[in-house]
Amino acid sequence: MALHAPLLRLPYFWDEAGYYVPAARDLLLTGSPIPHSTVSNAHPPLVMAYLALWWKLAGFAPIVTRTAMLVASSFALLGLFRLAETLANFEVAVTTTILTVLYPVFFAQSSLVHLDLAAAGLTFWGVNAYMKGKGWDAALWFSLASLTKETAILAPLALFAWGLLPQRWRSRDGKNLSERRFRQPVLLLLPLLPLVAWYVIHYLKTGFVFGNPEFFRYNVEATLQPLRILLALLVRLWQTAGYFHLLMLTVAALFAMWLPPLREQGGERSRIALDAQFAMLAVVAAYVIAMAMVGGAELARYMLPVVPLVILVCVSTLWRRVRLWLGVAAIVALMFVAGWFINPPYGFAPEDNLAYVDYIRLHQHAEEFLEARYPMARVLTAWPASDELTRPYLGYVTRPLRVVRIEYFALEQLLSAADSRSNDVSSDFEVALVFSTKYEPAHPLLQRWRLWQEWKQRFFDYHRDLPPAAAAQVLGGNVVYQETRNRQWIGVIELERIVDARN
């Protein structure tokens, strides 16, 4: 709470504004788990119900929302601590928890209204129950996780599949997890029941099982191409083991494997039982493979249920084999904190560190200017600014503005908008709000590899947004407001018609 104190009153950001907050607000106002003010994506409603309860008790405000999510994040960290303590020891558990807190993606996501971190926390509790052999407890935690986000079902299914392997494959150190701790693997299939029930309800209410057709096309149909799956697999592996300085920890753990275990009075330091490590590896592999096959946006937050498991194994390895292991952990911790503020030399989602604060401040200032100077104008812009301008409860404007929406601010989109404006009265607009929809590093690592640029455009919806001055030339207007923060930018363009009317 102390670390996030300056962030608690921020307006809602990106997917928060575009789906999760409107969906939770619909549930608060109508009691229906199916949103009506936004198109349903068929995500299970547990987090939205959780937020609606907080709003009912404490009021609808960003500080209430972000406090609620921090409570969920803290519960996730407690689950990770208990899991690490079960598998290793107190020292490893404390260090693993601190590094997870400081990992930029986890830190940034801790107060944001997304599903992945809450699902990760419930997954940690489920894996901990599994490791202790508590079948019904594991089934309960995994059921709650799957009602938080549908992809959380991967963890119990992976553990179930792992349990089906022949015992000689699973027992690597004479301490077979399934025989010693978990005797009812069929209970791992129970979380399928509430998830299937949710999809039945969703189908009966909307006529769609897995969300609206466009959502399903973007996240499933368009992703099932062999080359894209291979590229996405590499991205997921990078996000699991190397993203935002995580590579320092995993490489340190790999080098530590060449060292002999440290010896104490009672013998050499113990490791996490290999059977438990392979069980967690099954969960990691399931997420890496599944998230390479589905998901239109390769967001790092989708891997939050498994990255802390990687951190746990790496910390345990360092503790077992490196005498100055705390020093290595401290260096990694400092690099993680640096990652909050310093953007990497490759493209990333602003939600993965405090770059999202820059985005929010840019949009706050520009949209306050827009509302004050052009309260009656029709505004050309793209999502999520289109929602920010039309939904005052998101925290950017005090009254809704009229919007003409395009997909993004690439040249072809702006040319199409300018053409529509001259030929179609219904598409007319007087002002444009243009902004960076993707973070572009100054010198991208792979910028000279033309094939990679082509693959990004073909498979990952990559495009280049025109900056305000160039966009103004295409649209035939003048830039009247512009602001830049850490390579993110926003601008307001006034079309000539307004200038002529004033003259």
pLDDT at position 424 is 65
Q: Residue 243 and residue 245: Cα distance in Å, rounded?
A: 6
Task: Report the C-alpha gap between 162 and 173 in whole angstroms.
Answer: 16
Q: What is the value of pTM for the model shown? A: 0.93
Distance CA 82, CA 71 (A): 17
Residue 323 neighbours by CB distance under 10 Å: 9
Distance in angstroms between the alpha carbons of the first and the last residue of the chain: 53
DSSP string, 47-95: HHHHHHHHHHHH-S-HHHHHHHHHHHHHHHHHHHHHHHHHHS-HHHHHH
Q: What share of the chain is helix, strand, coil (3-state, %, to 5)?
A: 65, 5, 30
**What was the pLDDT predicted at 389?**
97
**pLDDT computed for residue 282 by the predictor:** 96
- Among 387, 403, 397, 401, which residue's Cα sits nearest to residue 365? 397
- Residue pLDDT, tens place only, 90-122: 999 999 999 999 999 999 999 999 999 999 999
Domain positions in the chain? 5-343, 355-502
Question: Is the Cβ–Cβ distance between 496 and 476 less than 8 Å?
Answer: yes
Give tens-digit pLDDT for 358-386: 999 999 999 999 999 999 999 999 999 99
Nearest to 366 by CA among 474, 494, 462, 495: 494
CA 451 to chain centre: 27
Q: How far apart, in whole angstroms, are the C-alpha atoms of residue 28 and residue 21?
A: 10
Q: Tell me the C-alpha distance between 77 and 384, whole Å.
A: 30
| CA of residue 39 relative to chain centroid, distance | 20
CA atoms of 105 and 303, how far apart (whole Å): 10
* C-alpha torsion sign, points 380, 386, 392, 397: negative
Report the pLDDT value the prediction gives residue 326, as an integer from 0 to 100: 97
pLDDT of residue 495: 92
d(CA 446, CA 452): 7
* CA distance linking residue 103 with residue 307, whole number of Å: 10
Contacts of 99 (CB under 8 A, 6+ apart): 249, 311, 315, 329, 332, 333, 336
Task: Compute CA distances 424 → 191, 361, 429, 498, whole Å.
Answer: 52, 34, 10, 18
The whole-angstrom separation of Cα 116 and Cα 103 is 15
**Across the 503 residues of the chain, what is the mean pLDDT of every consecutive 10-residue run?**
95 96 97 93 96 98 98 98 97 98 98 97 97 94 98 97 73 47 79 97 91 82 89 96 97 97 90 94 97 90 98 98 97 98 92 97 98 96 96 97 94 90 73 94 75 83 91 95 96 74 39
Q: In the prediction, which pLDDT does 444 show?
A: 75
Q: What is the rounded CA–CA span in Å between residue 431 and residue 472? A: 10
